[in-house]
Amino acid sequence: MNKTEMLYEGKAKKVWATEDENLCIVSYKDDATAFNGLKKGTIVGKGSINNRVSNYFMKIIEDKGIPTHVVEELSDRETLVKRVEIVPLEVIVRNIAAGSLAKRLGLEEGTVMSHPVLEFCYKNDALNDPMVNTSHIIAMGFATREELDLISKYSFQINEILKGILEMDNITLVDFKIEFGRMKDGTIILADEISPDTCRFWDSRTSEKLDKDRFRRDLGGVEDAYQEILKRVMGNK
Ligand code: UDP
């Protein structure tokens, strides 16, 4: 499958059209941004790690019955995916309070939530991705109630699947962000990526951060943390 025109260049990925109107090629970059683009940098090797780790997680999720956009990993950095219209929501699932939740509710980072927490933010850089609830989403036409019910169900299921895989590698899944897409026939599928850029991963024994917070918070050892996730999750797969 060959790339034709570039459809979109985001902060961490480029998306290309292909000769097949129903397929795209995603190309992962080493560029890193945080705080809505205010902080910029490079994390050497990130593109390849995120591509491989995300595809690995999505394959397992697909095998458990949740449809995903992944078709085939083409190379270290590139993956063939189904073409979708992205539902303009960042869907966040949280097991442990961190980041904006800790701040908003005055919780100490590391507080275990008694039940997984589901949040939606409207994907809009100019508005700083504001949090929205179900009635905002329906009233704004971002998704229908039926779509949102399915997205919510899938998101909690994905949380359980990922927690299970990661526990075996001594990684605690603190929280993560996912995005969904709509295919031409209306089917909702998991899209975007699942990687150390979009999840908080803590070492289960030491609580060391093994994710993008090392970049956001200038903690150092950013590349090593991404490599560690690749090694633990994929081993010699
Ligand atoms: N997240 C993301 N992209 C965003 C915002 C958040 O991937 O634009 C992820 C982030 O990595 C974390 C989770 O969503 O795993 C919850 O992030 P939070 O709302 O705490 O925001 P942050 O602390 O990043 O501002």
Q: What is the mean pLDDT of residues 59-83?
A: 98
pLDDT for 7-41, tens place per residue?
Answer: 999 999 999 999 999 999 999 999 999 998 899 99
First and final C-alpha spacing in the chain = 25
Q: What's the 198 CA to ligand 1 centre distance in angstroms?
A: 6
User: Considering the domain 3-82, what is its CATH architecture?
Assistant: 2-Layer Sandwich (3.30)
Mean model confidence pLDDT for the chain: 97
* H or E element at residue 232: helix 222-234
Position 1 scores a pLDDT of 84
Percentage of residues in the chain having pLDDT higher than 90: 97
pLDDT of 147 higher than 70: yes
CATH classification of 85-221, choosing from 3.30.1050.10, 3.40.190.10, 3.40.50.11540, 3.30.470.20?
3.30.470.20
Nearest-CA residue for ligand 1 atom 10 is 198
Tell me the CA–centroid distance for residue 19 and ligand 1, in Å: 34
Give me ligand 1 centre to Cα 177, in Å: 6
The confidence score (pLDDT) of residue 236 equals 64
How much of the chain, in percent, has pLDDT values that exceed 70? Answer: 99
Q: Where are the domains of the chain?
A: 3-82, 85-221
Q: pLDDT at residue 2 above 80?
A: yes
Instruction: Report whether pLDDT(237) > 80.
Output: no
If one counts every other C-beta atom within 10 angstroms of the C-beta of residue 73, the result is 16
How do residues 179-196 score in pLDDT, each as one tens digit? 999 999 999 999 999 999
Q: Is any atom of ligand 1 closer than 6 Å to the C-beta of 214?
A: no
pLDDT at 97 over 70: yes
230-237: long-range contacts at Cβ-Cβ below 8 A with a sequence spacing of 24 or more? 230/49, 230/52, 230/53, 232/169, 232/170, 232/171, 233/53, 233/56, 233/57, 233/165, 233/166, 233/169, 233/171, 234/52, 234/53, 234/56, 237/56
* Segment 159-167 mean pLDDT: 98
Rounded to the nearest 5°, which phi and psi values hold at 121? -125, 140
Residue 212 in contact with ligand 1 by CB distance below 6 A: yes
Cα 84 to Cα 54, 164, 225, distances in angstroms: 17, 28, 31
Summarised one tens digit per residue, pLDDT across range 201-228 is 999 999 999 999 999 999 999 999 999 9
* CB distance 33 to ligand 1 below 6 Å: no
